[in-house]
Structure 1
Amino acid sequence: MFKMLTGTLLGCLLLSQGASAALWSLTYPRPLDDRDLRNEYPIALLTLALEKTGVKYSLLPSDRIMLQGKALRQIRENREVNVVWSMTDTQREKDLLPIRIPIAKGLIGWRVFLIKKQELSAFRQITTKDGLSKKIPIQGEEWPDTKILQANGFNVYTVPDYPEAVSELEAGKADFFPRSVIEVVNELKDDRRKASIMLEPNLAIYYPTAMYFFVNKGDSTLARLIETGLRRAIEDGSFDALFMSTYEESLQQLNLDKRIILSLENPLLPDLTPVGEKALWYLPQKMASSTSESDQ
């Protein structure tokens, strides 16, 4: 409640300082492919937040394509882009200014697996973290997930970015490709997907983490503006409405409540992550029930 009140007060302060009269130009990283649907929700949520503040704004992609590592460096150097969305870790929060509201309510830490179809029978035998750790996951070189998996005993095969991961998985360089539940359903619909790759049906891993909007360290006013809009959207229910309209069908399709959930530690989770604000997070019914029982 205190943080929501703070956000409201910040909104009033911004407006009183004339922020509503200025044109706020926000530039985000242009994706590798315009058909990449992973950007649709963050852009829609950022648009919603800006609308809630009442400011005049433009929201446009960068002139050139930027993969995540490049985009994070550019925003750190205050060049080309001034807002990104990315999974957080301690280093990113040192380099950039996070708006600490998990934009996907923590779903970025829920992972299911892409595997080769011929590996399905082997994965059916796995029921524990130790069993899974004998398999080799594939991840991006600069993704926080790589360090999280390594810290949990996995021998991670790394590649520059997503397109290479799918190709290397098909080539047998790794056994599985953990994908967030907010990404994988659209990836499976992509008509360019390799025919030999499938969704593993029985397992999921979970580690606490958040995807945030980030801005340059010197852009504190922009950060307050975005946070104000997000807090207002949380208060009036429009944040949750957008979240559910985007992800409810995918969550039902992935059926996390029927999967074996293997929990991992996240040593990269920053201390200021708002894990105590339950309204900011999504939990499958299975975990929500166990959490409620442990609180009693």
Structure 2
Amino acid sequence: MSLSGVHVSAATWTITYPRPLTDNDLRAEYPIALLTLALEKTGVKYTLLPSERILLQGKALRQLKENREVNVVWSMTDAQREKELLPIRIPIAKGLIGWRVFLTTKSQLASFRAIDSKQALLSKTPVQGEEWPDTKILQANGFNVFTVPEYPQAFNILETGRASFFPRSVIEIQNELDSGELSADIVVEPRLSLYYPTAMYFFVNRGNVTLARLIETGLQRAIEDGSFDALFNSTYQETLKNLELPSRTVFELDNPAMPQHTPLEDSRLWYKPASVK
């Protein structure tokens, strides 16, 4: 997509995204910063606002599909979401959404020490959200997934032992640990990780082609002038170092729901922190 040949009004664009769950929910900081960067690169006048009410991911995506409350949402992609919504196919976290490390409990931590294969890991029960693409990926790879309707419930399921681990992307886990809202019993498993090819995109309503072109043009300009990578590195470099991904045992999973137009061939768009085993 390009803005060339598209008339962009001089009026101010009002762009509304899903309000974070709490003031301590830091997971939205980077997507909002990247969206702001992209809009600045286009030179348009804009106002960037959170939705009036808190919208969990499933609700936010439904409201976006119906053109209500929000007009941009960032989310992991799958074939169904790309059918219902209009994706801007630039992975906003360079594929890190598919690199997963595990939250578990102190009482279950020792049981992961003997795991040295994907088959052994299948004996463990992960917890995930009912509508998350990750759930289908894990199920397709043989995991018996405990699902919950809403994200905050996953931590309770983990804490009460009904699930063995909660796979979290490397771009989420540090913010969750820093939020101060997790039980002291929940810890990071230090040895293992999962990888599956996937992307987190900005999505807009299928009818909002001009907004999609606007955001994509800004992202492309940020890639070309290095400001995309600068923001990415300043946000995640420390986390990647702390999680020690290169020294972890990485199990690669298939992603049968990955859309065929995922731009896997463009190496500028992806970050690979470790060799996959």
Taking structure 2 as the reference length, the TM-score comes to: 0.98
SS at match of 1:112: strand
Query: Counterparts of 2:234 and 2:225 in 1: how far apart (Å)?
Result: 16
One-letter identity of the residue aligned with 1:227: E
One-letter identity of the residue aligned with 2:44: V
Per-residue CA deviation, residues 210-251 of structure 1 (Å, 9 max, x unaligned), is 000000000011100000000000000000000000000000
Query: Matches of residues 116-127 of structure 1 in structure 2 within 5 Å?
Result: 116-127=105-116
Query: Counterparts of 1:234 and 1:20 in 2: how far apart (Å)?
Result: 25
Query: Matches of residues 133-282 of structure 1 in structure 2 within 5 Å?
Result: 133-282=122-271
- Partner of residue 293, structure 1: none
Query: Matches of residues 34-73 of structure 1 in structure 2 within 5 Å?
Result: 34-73=23-62
Q: Percent identity?
A: 68
Conservation of the 8 A alpha-carbon contact between 2:25 and 2:179? no
One-letter identity of the residue aligned with 1:156: V
Per-residue CA deviation, residues 183-208 of structure 1 (Å, 9 max, x unaligned), is 10121122221111100000000000
Query: 1:121 deviation in Å?
Result: 1.5
Query: Counterparts of 1:135 and 1:13 in 2: how far apart (Å)?
Result: 54
Equivalent residues, number? 277
Query: 1:285 deviation in Å?
Result: 4.5
Conservation of the 8 A alpha-carbon contact between 1:20 and 1:56? no
- Partner of residue 3, structure 2: 11
One-letter identity of the residue aligned with 1:67: L
Taking structure 1 as the reference length, the TM-score comes to: 0.92
Query: Counterparts of 1:102 and 1:64 in 2: how far apart (Å)?
Result: 27
Query: 1:11 deviation in Å?
Result: 2.9
Conservation of the 8 A alpha-carbon contact between 1:139 and 1:145? yes
| RMSD between superposed Cα atoms in Å | 1.1
Query: Counterparts of 1:86 and 1:78 in 2: how far apart (Å)?
Result: 16
Gaps of 5+ in 2: none
- Partner of residue 10, structure 2: 21
One-letter identity of the residue aligned with 2:66: E
Conservation of the 8 A alpha-carbon contact between 1:20 and 1:54? no
Conservation of the 8 A alpha-carbon contact between 2:15 and 2:46? yes
